[in-house]
Amino acid sequence: MEEHIGAGKRRRDEQTPDGIRILYEDNHLLVVEKPANLPVQADASGDTDLLSLLKKYIRERYKKPGEAYLGLVHRLDRPVGGAMVFAKTSKAAARLSAQFRSHEAKKRYCAIVSGEPKSGETLTDWLMKDETTFSSRVVPAETTGAKEARLRYSLLGEGSGKALLDVELLTGRPHQIRVQLQNAGLPIEGDQRYNPAAQAGTQIRLWAYALTITHPTLKEQMTFFSAPPWDGEGAFTAQVQLLPAFSVCRGVYLNEECVVVDKNAGAETEGELLGELESLFEVVYPVHRLDANTEGIVLFARTQEAAARYETLFYRHELRKIYHAVVRGVPQERGSFVHWLKKDADESFMTVCRQGEPGAQRAELNYRVLKSGGGKSLLEIELLTGRTHQIRVQMAQAGYPVLGDDKYGDRAFNKENRRRTQALLAKRLEIGGRTFESLRELEL
């Protein structure tokens, strides 16, 4: 069971007397938001450190005589801020330390980088730490003392030569994210140590925004969130504010009247997705829907007036909905399909029928082949009508079923290609003079 803490249902907004924000606290755990540029523990600088401030908080709040116990089970670089967990008992410390060693505990970061990242990539390097300079560098794999470092990133947004990345650590090496991204040609903005182009005095744009652990005694999985306090990053405002909803969507656009998200496959529009957005924005109104296993662009209104206006545009078809799909076979380069469909509401199933039959609805789409290979094709599809499961039904009827669609498609083909969810992406939505586009890409 995953519990989202720090935003939404169980959000805490307490601070210690020294201004450290508390995300969660019980008899075993203390989860806080580490400020940027504050060392985690005492070092040669002699500066105030987070561990000492938190021990002071525990000693004073609970009136503990002498030194208060607080176990340090993981670290963040001094210039980096974000979610950190501390153990309030030795038993909790041992169990949490084991989670971090085994990588059962998951740490996610957001970073603003220069360069042109891929839509997603796993980086594997070998790092060597220099104990004299307290820096790390990439070295050949056979170097004595080198340690393997792996991370996975996905692209959340891009513009003006910069990009916002969601980074998941797969190993835990000193300065790992900073060194690996720099080595990949994606230096982090404001990184004074590893980015030669960073201007003096600028703040590093790296933040530990999510931390997932298993509670040491309750045995429940818990995820804590901390949004980066970055100003002047208008191009990525939506993505940053929607980071706590990373399990169901990515941010695309946000203003006073709408939220546009890039939905993950598996999330119900009016289920998990709506719930996550309401936990962040109090009230939102779904304007249209995607099948649970279809990923891509979904629009929500933030006011009733905006919802009515958008719904009118959808009803009048004064919009363009562009999808990408991987299908079986290779159709002609361009084409159109028109069918008449009838819905079985009880079974949530669409069947092809004849024009004029009771309940028959006209369904029309245009497509073009983007590329093909291996008996499959990647198509761009424009919906000219909006029927339930329309693309999946029409492409199957035409002999080009969507890969991964077990409901209307070819199950043997899906099994052969090891695809369990349909390869269908709501790539672009053009509505009200605006265009919203998913950064995701489907691959053959």
Q: How far apart are CA 127 and CA 139, in angstroms?
A: 6
Radius of gyration of the chain (CA): 25
Q: Known catalytic residue: 77?
A: yes
Buried b (16+ CB within 10 A) or exposed e, 62-71: eeeeeebebb
In this structure, the strands spanning 2-5 and 221-225 are parallel
Which residues 6+ apart lie within 8 Å of 394 measured at CB?
Answer: 337, 339, 363, 365
SS3 label, residue 284: coil
Find, among 190, 192, 182, 227, the residue nearest to 207 by Cα. 227
How far, rounded to the nearest angstrom, does the alpha carbon of residue 302 sit from its chain's CA centroid?
Answer: 21
DSSP for 224-280, written as a single string: EE------S-GGGHHHHHTGGGTTTEEEEEE-SSEEEEEEPTT--IIIIIHHHHHHH
- Cα torsion 168, 174, 180, 185 to 10°: value is 120
Decide if 83 contacts 224 (C-beta within 8 A).
yes
The catalytic position among 13, 47, 49, 77 is 77
Neighbours of 400 (CB within 10 A): 23
- 3-state DSSP assignment of residue 415: helix
Quote the CA–CA distance of 422 and 390 in Å, as a whole number.
13
Q: Where are any strands of DSSP class E within 16-65?
A: 21-25, 29-34
Burial of 396 (0-12, 13-18, 19+ CB in 10 A): buried
Question: Residue 334 and residue 210: Cα distance in Å, rounded?
Answer: 44
Phi, psi of 390 (to 5 degrees): -55, -50
Give catalytic residues, as residue numbers.
77
